[in-house]
Amino acid sequence: MNPVAQKRSRAYNTIVIPSAYIDGGDLNYFGNAGSVQATENVYRSLIEERGTSEDIHLIDMNIDVTWDGDAEMTVTVNIENKENSFYFGIIRSHITEIESRWLDHKGDPYYFGLLDIPINKLLFLLPHGTKTISFTWDGKENHGDQTFEDITEDNTMVISTVCRLMPHIRQGYQDPPYDQRYLGFFVDQTVGAMPESN
């Protein structure tokens, strides 16, 4: 339903909807587990599994989201490299709608529907270096040929991720008739925040 989400999905060569990619695609899951609760349990288990990985770079990040009113918000992301080596990565900030405007085939809303990715760029940090990225996002503007002037403060979350630049080849949908290969990028930090009014 959203060209921005379609473009992001194409990076994974997605064939099946829904598909979930955990830790930048190192793990994946497609379809559903039969119910919302069962699917949530599967997702939670995969996320917790990746949370135990020791293959992670020490990146600290925090995010501040200010609701400016009239579908506008200001986002500030602070990133710090806690290691003694250089860090090369990719930073993305995703604007999501907690209870999505888009509905599934039963007429129930999806959750955390992607509206836009206003930040999607290379990140370079010196050892123990820091970087601050700020931007203003206006739902009334054009985002992938769509506007979101009706978004509300209490139904919006900004989620930012930092992944390392070195990709690895992954495979999904091992069962016929699906064949999928894509480049995964290990995620080193993820933070999310809802907007707060001035």
What are 85-113's pLDDT values in tens digits?
999 999 999 999 999 999 988 898 988 99
- Judged against a pLDDT cut of 80, whether residue 115 lies above it is answered with yes
Euclidean distance between CA atoms 114 and 183, whole angstroms: 21
Exposure of 154 by Cβ count < 10 A (0-12 exposed, 13-18 middle, 19+ buried)?
Answer: exposed
Question: β-strands 130-138, 72-81: how paired?
Answer: antiparallel
Buried b / exposed e across 56-82, counting CB within 10 Å, b at 16+?
ebebebebebbbeeebbbebebebbbe
* Per-domain residue ranges of the chain: 3-197
The token pair at 20 is: 């979930």
Residues 5 and 144: their CA atoms lie apart, in Å, by 9
The DSSP secondary-structure symbol of 146 reads -
**pLDDT on residue 171:** 74
The whole-number pLDDT of residue 174 equals: 54
The predicted-structure confidence for 15-69, as pLDDT tens digits, reads as follows 877 888 888 888 888 878 888 889 889 989 988 887 777 777 899 999 999 999 9
pLDDT digits (tens, 9 = 90+) for 141-188: 999 999 999 999 999 999 999 999 887 787 776 555 667 788 888 899
pLDDT at 17: 79
**Spelled out in words, what is the top-level CATH class assigned to the domain 3-197?**
mainly beta
What percent of the chain stands above pLDDT 90? 58
